Amino acid sequence: MASAITLAAEAPKLSAANTGFMLICSALVLLMTPGLAFFYGGMVRVKSTLNMLMMSFISLGIVTILWVLYGFSLAFGSGSALIGWNADWLGLSNIGLTELWDGYTIPIFVFMVFQLMFAIITPALISGALADRVKFSAWSLFVALWLTVVYIPVAHWVWGADGWAFKLGVIDFAGGTAVHINAGAGALGVILVIGKRVGFKKDPMRPHSLPLVMLGAGLLWFGWFGFNAGSWLGNDDGVGALMFVNTQVATAAAMLAWLAYEKIRHGAFTTLGAASGAVAGLVAITPSGGAVSPLGAIAVGAIAGVACAAAVGLKFKFGYDDSLDVVGVHMVGGIIGSLLIGFFATGKGQSTATGVFYGDHTFTQLWKQFAGVGAVLAYSLIASAVLAFLLDRTIGMRVSQDEEISGIDQAEHAETAYDFSGAGGGVLGSSVAHAQAPAGSHNKKVDA
């Protein structure tokens, strides 16, 4: 009897503090999707602004419903090493209001909604690679299919208790593999199928609103604290605080490194470079921030800033049209952040695993990170390309060439982002609209 009483006393109890903390973090992560919409929306040409906003915003609707119906069950239910299952979680129909998430002090509902916000933003990240040219109906269907076929299984691999990557010991604190490599590789798979924009490498495609880009980057930076620190699912032992600090430190280092690279390479410190560098740092610290020290976070951010700044130019060398550099920032940044755990893990944060610079001379953790990175990259790339191919051959993925040239906002949404009639009315207003500078690229050669 005494033993039973002791065990009962040691069982986790609902923590109002941790529950409140996680609800706030969930709201912060939700804010990231509108922030992403602004970030991407400012980077495209005037004629594509609304479409870019909507490609992110529609994920809020589609993913929410599917996550409630079956997504949460398949991603986090107990099951095989590849996919989960819990019939009681289908439609969230048999979950008690105070029923706790596995071994934690927060309700299952809170964990579910926190993970929902991750599921929402991940396909939205892909949209930046497809700017100017994808039918909105086809994109909406792609989001539903990609969530089901790609995101949910990968989330189970990485974060599910039965997932093969989780059991192997792959460290991914908040989504370097499951979110960023997954989205970046998925974006590459889709653009290899649907092809380039009209005028790629010929027409200037500069951002139409850099203030909008900076606003989006600021909202992403702000929301990312919930994304990263909240992934510890509580606030009891300092690991979440470490992640909070490392998120700030790595982001600052990456922004400075990107700007330094840009000044040396292209001769200027650009606002687009500052915004993109910050995002690169946020991406890279996402998997690693709970395992490295603040000094390690500086290294992770600086390396990611330079590497991602260099990587965004690869699309011109290899000829794939990644409109807003999703591959160069999210896939490359996710890979760097995930692999650097194998070098900079201190063994004092989320895991006792150490990196090469902290005594792991057999490269054990580094090889585990390689396994996780390689598997997610390959699966997402291939599965996303197959989904895009099937949609393209059935309902068609792309708008017509005439619609792309005249503007996807008008063709797909019957609206325009800005009313230029007030600038002079009639023909003058129309002329101002056509004179707007097209959407953005980090590569100076294209703008020349």
User: What one-character-per-residue DSSP string does 24-44 give?
Assistant: HHHHHHHHHHHHHHHHHHHHS
Torsion angle, alpha carbons of 212, 144, 379, 340, to 10: 40
CA distance 105 to 232: 12
The angle formed by the CA atoms of residues 139, 214 and 268, to the nearest 5 degrees, is 115
Q: Does residue 9 surpass a pLDDT of 90?
A: no
On whether the CB atoms of residues 249 and 70 are closer than 8 A, the answer is no
Q: Does residue 440 surpass a pLDDT of 80?
A: no
Per-residue pLDDT of 124-171, as tens digits, reads 999 999 999 999 999 999 999 999 999 999 999 999 999 999 999 999
Give the residue carrying structure tokens 């691999």: 157
Q: Give the mean model confidence (pLDDT) for residues 385-403.
A: 97
Per-residue pLDDT of 31-58, as tens digits, reads 999 999 999 999 999 999 999 999 999 9
| Cα distances (angstroms) measured from residue 391 to each of 65, 127, 404 | 21, 16, 19
- pTM of the full predicted structure? 0.91
Across 60-64, 173-177, 340-344, 424-428, least confident range? 424-428
* Residue scoring higher pLDDT (433 or 395): 395
Instruction: Identify the band that residue 203 occupies on the pLDDT scale cut at 50, 70 and 90.
Output: confident
CA distance 389 to 386: 5
CA distance 304 to 343: 14
Annotated domain spans of the chain: 16-394
Tell me how crowded residue 295 is: count the other CB atoms within 10 A of its CB: 12
Question: Nearest Cα to 243, choosing from 4, 25, 88, 11?
Answer: 25
pLDDT, residue 423, reads: 55
pLDDT, residue 8, reads: 47
Q: Does residue 113 surpass a pLDDT of 90?
A: yes
Residue-wise burial string across 27-55, b where 16 or more C-beta atoms lie within 10 A, e elsewhere = ebbbbbbbbbbbbbbbbbbbbbbbbbbbb
Across 3-12, 81-90, 215-224, 319-328, least confident range? 3-12
Across 53-62, 330-339, 347-356, 426-435, least confident range? 426-435
pLDDT, residue 427, reads: 37
Q: What is the DSSP annotation of 292-332?
A: S-HHHHHHHHHHHHHHHHHHTTHHHHHT---TT-HIIIIIH
CA distance 375 to 200: 31
What residue type is assigned to position 384 of the chain? S
Q: Does residue 426 surpass a pLDDT of 50?
A: no
CA distance 288 to 304: 12
Q: Positive or negative, the Cα torsion across 114, 120, 124, 126? A: positive
Quote the CATH superfamily of domain 16-394: Ammonium transporter AmtB like domains (1.10.3430.10)
Here the tokens at position 163 are: 């997932």
The angle formed by the CA atoms of residues 287, 291 and 297, to the nearest 5 degrees, is 75
pLDDT, residue 419, reads: 84
pLDDT, residue 79, reads: 84
CA distance 178 to 376: 7
pLDDT, residue 422, reads: 63
CA distance 26 to 225: 10
Q: What rounded mean pLDDT belongs to the chain?
A: 92
Spell out the residues 6+ positions from residue 123 whose beta carbon is closer than 8 angstroms to its own.
59, 63, 142, 143, 146, 147, 151, 183, 186
Q: Does residue 288 surpass a pLDDT of 60?
A: yes
Across 31-35, 222-226, 346-350, least confident range? 346-350
Q: How far is CA 170 from the centre of its chain?
A: 19
pLDDT, residue 433, reads: 40
